[in-house]
Amino acid sequence: MVAHQDDASPPEAEGQGDGGEVGAERIAKRLARAGVASRREVERLIEAGRVAVNGERLTTPAVKVSPTDRVTLDGRPVGAVQPTRLFRYHKPPGLMTTHHDPQGRPTVFDSLPAGLPRLISIGRLDLNSEGLLLLTNDGELARRLELPSSGLVRRYRARARGRVDPARLARLKDGITVDGVRYGPILAEVEPGHDAGANQWLVLSLAEGKNREVRRVLEALGLTVNRLIRIAYGPYELGSLERGDVAELPSPGKPAEPGSVKDIGKTLKAKRSQRPSPPILTGEAKKTYKTGWAKPKIKRTGSGSAPGRPAGPRGRMPSASPPRSSGARPPGPRPGGGRGRRG
């Protein structure tokens, strides 16, 4: 997870791109809409001298291009702007959320199933975190949804070792400062039925998504997180999507209505009892891309589909979503025993 800063548009530069033609737009916006990267990342590509327009290498992002201009990245033509597409992906642990890792570790984008367009992530999950990661081919959409100003609430399940102090957990709603870093309101509680033993499952809702926020905040409370699963990002939920699989969502129109953590998650207990189905298409065939398949598999999502444990031979993995009844045991070893996942 990362919190991106608003990228204020720099003043117009002279000498590169007059922007006088009809349909002209800033180069960063053009590349973002073409799915190259977010606008902030495009500016870094330009600063590194990797972007050229009509054969002239750019030195500033303060350039406008028209539909007839030839734009290249590392000498390769940048394709035309494609219709916006949005996907939900069940990220397994052990993958970096980046297109290239200097240390050579496996990445999300190296591990995606075949048949997908070039995608970028909306926010990030760190190496050992898992769960819902939104992917899109539109850098403008990615920027809009990942900024803290969007007000979109991220919801997590965290398995933590240590003694939970309910009073300190409740005070997180007022925010907390850890090692000089101020974190905003967090709603946190122990999952009912899983409040005993060395490992306990917590549910947390937050709107900022700063780097390693959940782990650092719980560590400040004396808890060590040994498993972290993102189960929702704004209105989008992980549901029963299997590890490594990708499901396409309806193309978003207007941005989701912003709201604070307090507005969206007044009580997590009420949220669990009224949780809607993931906002995927109903009644229409929508592609689910499965790891290891050469061709996308068509999966129908309609009124007949029910959330819960995935079907099929790979369905042995429990759902990462919170249990609907207090008697269900969350994924992972039983409290007080067993060996945890290597981190």
**231 vs 130: CA distance, rounded Å:** 9
Q: Looking at 76-194, which runs of residues are DSSP E strands? A: 76-77, 86-91, 120-122, 130-136, 154-161, 176-178, 181-183, 186-190
Q: Which of 241, 260, 257 is nearest to 249 (CA)?
A: 241
> 317: part of which helix (H) or strand (E)?
none
Q: Looking at the chain, which runs of residues are DSSP E strands? A: 25-26, 51-53, 56-57, 64-65, 71-73, 76-77, 86-91, 120-122, 130-136, 154-161, 176-178, 181-183, 186-190, 199-206, 224-233, 236-237, 246-249, 284-289, 297-301
DSSP single-letter state for residue 242: P
- Residue 287: exposed, middle, or buried by beta-carbon count in 10 A (0-12, 13-18, 19+)? middle
Q: Which residue among 6, 126, 174, 263 is the active-site one?
A: 126
Q: Is 263 a catalytic residue?
A: no
User: Mind telling me the catalytic residues?
Assistant: 126
